[in-house]
Amino acid sequence: MRVEPFAVGSYIHAMKRGARGLPIARTVADRQRFARLLYFMNEAYQDENWESSTVNLGIFERPAFWPERQPLTRILGWVLMPNHFHLLLEETVEKGTAKFMQRLCGSMTAHFNAKYKEKGSIFQGSYKSRTVQSDSYLRQVIPYIMVKNVFELYPAGYKEAIKNFDKAWQWGTEEYIFSSLPEYGGVRTWPISEKGIIKEIFPTTQSFKAHAREILLNRAGVGEELQKLTLE
């Protein structure tokens, strides 16, 4: 899928898959670094030595000598899967999303190759994206990214997650930390995501959970509309 320039104010569903379906994060440390990248790569200022500059700080703490943070794009929701990731973004600065994605994926590849003594991009081509052009699509892509994907990682399997929605929801909000679901579930506050328009659509955790339940249970996660969201 060709990546087109986005107008400021656009909502974007972006996905990037590992080359040949291989993992893009092998360890918990790799996944933690991905979460940090979502924050530290998403700003106009760039410290090439950001990891050494923040090594003695909190996980998302910025050094005092850095200038005021100016995000390149607004991350509304995200999830890291074993061999790909999904993001829901809002273009807030012209070409900000493209610059952020370039930095994010470039840093992941460089780190992965240095750590595991490999070569080449760890990703399969350009990132795939789709502009959210309707309220209906937005209302479906939100639970798709943050709930359906997380439920696919549920230890007992996706079908059991659907059967035991409340139990799977608790696992997804409390145990699987590498998504924005814990923020929307009200159990964690990380500075990666801004709820923005999602907060307007779902003003409470209960309203978001009820909507996700309706979408996934009524369609069993394989409805035609949800299938279109995979960006395959």
Q: List per-residue pLDDT tens for the chain, 232 residues long.
A: 345 568 999 999 999 999 988 999 999 999 999 999 999 999 999 999 999 999 999 999 999 999 999 999 999 999 999 999 999 999 999 999 999 999 999 999 999 999 999 999 999 988 999 999 899 999 999 999 999 999 999 999 999 999 999 999 999 999 999 999 999 999 999 999 999 999 999 999 999 999 999 999 886 544 455 555 566 5
* pLDDT of res. 228: 57
Domain boundaries, the chain: 11-129, 134-230
* The pair of three-digit structure tokens given for residue 31, joined into one six-digit string: 């996944």
* pLDDT of res. 221: 45
Q: What global pTM score does this model have? A: 0.93
* pLDDT of res. 218: 82
> Which of 41, 96, 39, 102 shows the shortest CA–CA distance to 73?
96
CATH number of 11-129: 3.30.70.1290
The rounded distance, in Å, linking the Cα atoms of 51 and 64 is 14
Q: Please, which contacts does 213-217 make with residues 24 or more away whose CB atoms are closer than 8 Å?
A: 213/165, 215/139, 215/140, 215/143, 215/144, 215/147, 216/143, 216/147, 216/148, 216/151, 216/162, 216/165, 217/162, 217/165
